[in-house]
Amino acid sequence: MKERYERLSGGFHNEVFYDKNDNRIIRISANCKSAEEVHQELQWMDFLHRNGIPLSKPAQEIELDGGLVKAHFEFVRGNPVDVTNPAHWNERNFEQFGRILGRMHALSKEYRIENNRRPVWTKENPDVFGIKNDLAGWLEKEYDRLMEDLQPYKLSLDTFGLIHNDFHQGNFIVRENGEIVVIDFDECACNWFAQDLAVLFYHAYWQQDSFIGEAEAFSRRFMHHVFSGYQSETELHPDTIAQIPIFLKLREIFLYQLFRRKWDKAHLEDWQEYTLEDLKRKIKNREPYAGVEDFSAYL
């Protein structure tokens, strides 16, 4: 019986399996996710799919198993994005990343949720994901400062809505025909559009710098094509561009705290130890991520 299911990942939040008999993905969500919350994720994915977003199509039925929530998704044939493979990591695909994201944000502007159970960022509760609960001292102060930096911005349909919230190349599959398919909408939330753009750039730059180099020139090339693709689908509001550096620093804090919590501190590998020290230094010194303070230069 066990041979029917192939364990694909045991991530930070979910267990994911491939069902060989039914050729589908099974995701088992942690106890913190309610059935209603997962169902609204699947409804949004279905809406996006019906409106042209390439994604792993979900089944709308969910299963409850001892407090866990099981969801099922189409199995997408293809490969994870390989940043060292020029067939994956190229300007055409960078523009495709931006085009998909722009289309998603355009659709978000017209999508309405009844009795919303997904996380919602508000000025009264900017710490919607509870990150601050695990912070103390200097790290908490840096987090609070960044939250304050977001307060002056006006919430509007042009800058805010239901987003993927973890949109980066690690959550893309490349089909044989070159089409990019988006997966893992588990973290979707009502948040600033800049969050999606920041996360996309953060992980692209990180992988480029780690495996290829020439990161400074890459920043301009990557974001120019992402912005071009994005603007072919929807308006890129000046506030969204201005917020990207804030969300990049928030991503650093999120990852720093996540790694500290999940990694075995007594048995860190060299790259893990370096990553933690590097993140700590950059957060403390308030270094602009990738040295970029103004992303409007990449339009």
Do 130 and 69 have their domain in common? no
Do 39 and 126 have their domain in common? no
- pLDDT attached to residue 33: 84
* Domain boundary, last residue among 45, 74, 103: 74
- pLDDT attached to residue 10: 57
CA distances from 180 to 59, 173, 176, 177, 256 (A): 20, 6, 10, 9, 29
Do 163 and 281 have their domain in common? yes
* Domain boundary, last residue among 53, 74, 95: 74
Do 44 and 179 have their domain in common? no
| 187, 295, 143, 14: CA torsion to nearest 10 | 20
Do 177 and 208 have their domain in common? yes
Do 249 and 286 have their domain in common? yes
Please tell me the total count of domains within the chain.
Answer: 2
* Domain boundary, last residue among 23, 49, 74: 74
Taking the alpha carbons of 280, 203, 261, 266 in that order, is the dihedral positive or negative? Answer: negative
Do 40 and 146 have their domain in common? no
CATH code of the domain covering residue 61: 3.30.200.20
- pLDDT attached to residue 2: 59
Do 43 and 87 have their domain in common? no
Q: What is the pLDDT along the chain (299 residues), one digit of tens a residue?
A: 458 888 887 556 788 999 999 999 999 987 778 899 999 999 999 999 999 999 999 999 898 888 789 999 999 999 999 999 999 999 999 999 999 999 999 999 999 998 999 999 999 999 999 999 989 999 999 999 999 999 999 999 999 999 999 999 999 999 999 999 999 999 999 999 999 999 999 999 999 999 999 988 999 999 999 999 999 999 999 999 999 999 999 999 999 999 999 999 999 999 999 999 999 999 999 999 999 999 999 99
The pTM of the full predicted model, rounded to 2 decimals, is 0.95
CATH code of the domain covering residue 187: 3.90.1200.10
Do 49 and 177 have their domain in common? no
In the block, tokens 């019906």 appear at 50
φ/ψ of residue 249, rounded to 5:
-70, -35
Do 197 and 64 have their domain in common? no
Do 103 and 200 have their domain in common? yes
Taking the alpha carbons of 228, 231, 233, 238 in that order, is the dihedral positive or negative? Answer: positive
Q: Which domain holds residue 58?
A: 2-74
- pLDDT attached to residue 24: 96
Q: How confident is the model over 237-284, as pLDDT tens digits?
A: 999 999 999 999 999 999 999 999 999 999 999 999 999 999 999 999
Do 176 and 102 have their domain in common? yes
